[in-house]
Structure 1
Amino acid sequence: MKKIVLLLSVVALVIASCSSDADSLPVIVPLADSVVDTNGILLKKAIITANSVSGADEINFTYAGNKLNRITYPNGSYDVYIYTGDLITEIRNYNADNTLSSTDDFHYNSSNKLIGRNDLGSGVFETSYVHNSNGTISFNDSGDSGVIYFQNGEIVRITKNLSGGGVSEDTYTYDGMNSPFKNIVGFDKMAFAYWGSGIFHNELTYHYTATGGITGTDTTTYTYNSNNFPITSTHTLDNSSDVITAQYFYQ
């Protein structure tokens, strides 16, 4: 999975990384009304530390208005975001020596809904999406197929039939506060392509199950500024002493 994952959850950079009854889906805590205009707040920098490694990683974000221009990583590599209008249509990942490493292309229908993604790196990985009338999205991802369920604009459940046999299910819960990435133009149109971690809000729990008795839950806690954006997060991996912390800085 490409480094875009970190855009959805900066912590995820260091970590790696079916019923349709709405009553059974996780609930997102509602965000209290605020008279403060937060539409111009953008993430400028994140500093990541992990108790299993020494030192800290700094990730920097630059913009053109509210459009994401570049994410720069500690090793000098960087992602460049290409827009067509207000839609993110390409992400180019470059090595520190400015050579192109890989490209993600995004394809939309006439309603500006994402219908396909091509990951062009060492191979070509294609994912297609079908937007269903009940608000779910069906997908086929390199042989895996499944359904993505949403509530209040966030992914709350993903069921998947695995190409090698077996099934898996992921569920997510969120806070009601502001995601560091909520004000990025076009982000909400394509962020679901990289599964959970939060589009408008911040992921609190991620629970996974799979054939063979595989199961686990990751948890994240936050502190917030006066505008309800996170300024720190602490991510704990399931059944592990590994803890990843992040500090968030805004412009």
Structure 2
Amino acid sequence: MRKITYLLCISLFIFTSCSSESDTPQNTETSTVPKKQIISRLDSPVTIDFVFDGNKIVSSTHSDNYVVKYTYKGDLITKKESSDLTNEYSYTDGKLTTYLRKLTGRDYYDKYSYTYVSNDVVSFVVSRITISTGAEEVISAKNIYTLKDGNIIKYETSSSVTTYKYDNKNSPMRNVLGFNKIFEEQPQVSSSVNNVTSYSVTLSNNSSYTNEITYTYNDHNFPTEINYYHGQSIAFTNKYSY
């Protein structure tokens, strides 16, 4: 598949941003969820098998028997746990307000506290809490997501600004219930509705770089192969079956 150029990504972004809602392909395959993911890097590939109950994800099992289990309350994911990590999610009126990230064996855990500045802007503060004393220290004060049409289009911190450009197709996890409510640190992985075609990072010293992502889609506009580029080379590839 021909590599998408940066200029084409800009053109695609302008087109999808300016098109009316009727011009954008709608997701009519609401039952489509990923069954298997294969991540190919320079070393041995990793296979992930997903188990679902309808559109609710139950678990994902990696080829090294690393298992991640999910817990729901209604349609919202409240816990994501494995042998070395537990994520807990709390909501107010269906919006994520607190995310606790607990690593096994650590004497602390991290708390992400979200504030909804508007429908399209979400800020959050990351604090580190010492388990024995309950002492809380802010470790990341400035974090801002800007959203549009179900996608994270900008992520700002005190040290960098990352902007994302998207296609108008379905992301692999689009139909997974509750995934659009939890802000993953890598939106090109799961939390956005569409697929990131490129992302540009500008650092506080004004240096910047852009990486691209290309896709092969099935007949229902879900990606079956994703190539992640670092510069001109493919860093790794994801393959999905549904």
Question: Any conservation in 2 of the 1:28–1:152 contact (CA below 8 Å)?
Answer: no
Distance 1:155 1:38, change over 3 A: same
Q: Which residue of 2 aligns with 1:106?
A: 89
What pairs with 1:148-227 in structure 2 (closer than 5 Å)? 148-161=145-158, 167-190=159-182, 192-197=183-188, 199-227=192-220
What pairs with 1:121-132 in structure 2 (closer than 5 Å)? 121=103, 122=106, 123-132=108-117
Query: Is residue 125 of structure 2 the alignment partner of residue 140 of structure 1?
Result: yes
Aligned-residue RMSD, C-alpha? 2.0
What pairs with 1:1-251 in structure 2 (closer than 5 Å)? 27=14, 29=16, 32-33=24-25, 37-50=28-41, 52-53=42-43, 55-94=44-83, 101-109=84-92, 111-121=93-103, 122=106, 123-133=108-118, 135-142=120-127, 143-144=139-140, 145-161=142-158, 167-190=159-182, 192-197=183-188, 199-238=192-231, 241-250=233-242
**CA distance in structure 1 between the partners assigned to 2:229 and 2:77 by the alignment:** 31
Q: 1:227 deviation in Å?
A: 0.5
Distance 1:213 1:132, change over 3 A: closer
Where has structure 1 moved over 6 Å in runs of 4 or more? Answer: none
**CA distance in structure 1 between the partners assigned to 2:166 and 2:195 by the alignment:** 5
**CA distance in structure 2 between the partners assigned to 1:203 and 1:119 by the alignment:** 25
**CA distance in structure 2 between the partners assigned to 1:117 and 1:160 by the alignment:** 18
Q: 1:88 deviation in Å?
A: 0.2
Q: 1:65 deviation in Å?
A: 1.1
**CA distance in structure 1 between the partners assigned to 2:125 and 2:30 by the alignment:** 34
TM-score, normalization by structure 2: 0.79
Q: Which residue of 2 aligns with 1:23?
A: none
Per-residue CA shift, 1:32-78, capped at 9, x if unaligned? 446x830111100011212x32x322111111111000011122111
Q: Which residue of 2 aligns with 1:13?
A: none
Distance 1:173 1:201, change over 3 A: same
Distance 1:195 1:137, change over 3 A: farther
TM-score, normalization by structure 1: 0.77
Distance 1:130 1:28, change over 3 A: farther
Whose RCO is larger (CA < 8 A, sep 6+)? Answer: 1
Distance 1:58 1:130, change over 3 A: same
Percent sequence identity over aligned pairs: 28
**CA distance in structure 2 between the partners assigned to 1:135 and 1:74 by the alignment:** 38
What number of residue pairs does the alignment pair up?
Answer: 208
**CA distance in structure 1 between the partners assigned to 2:213 and 2:110 by the alignment:** 30
Residue type of the partner of 2:175?
A: N
Q: Which residue of 1 aligns with 2:131?
A: none
Q: 1:193 deviation in Å?
A: 4.0
